[in-house]
A and B are shown apart, each in its own frame.
Chain A
Amino acid sequence: MHSATVRIQNVFGFFTTVATVVAVIIALSAFTSPQAPSASLKLRNVQVAKGRPHYYSVKREEYAHVRFDLDADISSLFNWNTKQVFLYIVATYPSSKASEPPTQAIVWDAILPSALAPWHQNQYIHPHPAPLKNGKRVRTSSPSYSRSKRPGIIKLSNQKPKYQITDHTGLIAKRENATLELRWNVQPWVGPLTWMNRRDYGVWKALKGGLSKPFNFPEVIGAKPADMGTVKGGEGNRGKPA
């Protein structure tokens, strides 16, 4: 401590200790913030058509196209330590052999930023509700979709998937007992990642709903399928603005 160099070293050294302790306290403080997410997830339509994994492939596979309705309120996941939430919908169906674990595939996903997260083109922009038949715009309690005021409210109707799904067998038609489930991954500013849970942990309540009724994949459509397009997130533009 006799010279300036030693004092700089000592102050910096203790600063790193204090910074670490504060970071740990911030991470722990998130667990005291109550969470009560709820969601309703319904299958709207499912079609199966043949396709190719990529343009030059000679392999023909069956692809399922799942449309869904999602009405979710996960705004309580955005506590002061939440940077962003990765929200995704998983289709789960039993494998052909009973001994194998069920197959899971992601149908749709979105990156929901908190109000403070810096802008990025991959972040999800919630679509405005469609105008009514008489041309009037739907009036919503306005800030519900806004990223700055209250992120985490999602209202999607007849939503197209982002990804058509299949598995390693390439056969998905007539598979039975599939379900859709809403899941997420909370990414904090500091601290551990947390995932969707179906159990209560203190003030963190389990997700209510968010699980569709079981459904079966239909037969392959013979003729040219109706509308089996997918939507693209910002990340689909590969770095170019949407």
Chain B
Amino acid sequence: MAEELLDKVRDAVEAQIDFDGQRLAELLYTVLLIASGVVAFIYGYATENVYNCLYAGLAGTALTFLVVVPPWPFFNKHPVTWLPSNKLSGGVSIQVDGKKVT
């Protein structure tokens, strides 16, 4: 009971995503942070206000954290399909070059 609960807590904290999701997350934060940097500079330069630049950059960064860090469903669209376990398929079966070893 306690173990199940702890497992759930650990899963929630770890917030794992699948491999395609990891690639997507990396692309997303790169694009978002560069875009927020560019927008922040242009906004600050146009308004001649260095504070606007700072706050725009921080807002873009906060948005990036929000998009990338939680395990959103679109990061888990390609779950890994594992091979069936030994217990179900009955005994260990290892093949080397097409020949059955065990």
Give me the interface of A with B, judged by CB distance under 8 Å. 1-5, 7-8, 10-11, 14-15, 18-19, 21-22, 25-26, 29, 80-81, 116, 189-190
Contacts and interface: CB of A to CB of B under 8 A. Distances in A.
Please report whether the interface of chain A is mostly helix, strand, loop or mixed according to DSSP.
Answer: helix
B68 A11 contact: yes
A25 B53 CA distance: 12
A14 to B, nearest CB: 5
Contacts, number: 70
B45 A8 contact: no
The 4 closest A-B pairs by CB, nearest first: A1-B22, A4-B15, A80-B48, A18-B37
Contacts of B14: 3-5
A7 B37 contact: no
Interface of B: 13-17, 22, 25-26, 29-30, 33-34, 36-37, 40-41, 44-45, 48-51, 53, 57, 61, 64-65, 68-71
A14 B37 contact: no
B44 A18 contact: no
A80 B29 contact: no
A14 B69 contact: no
Contact of B50 (A1, A8, A18, A81): A81
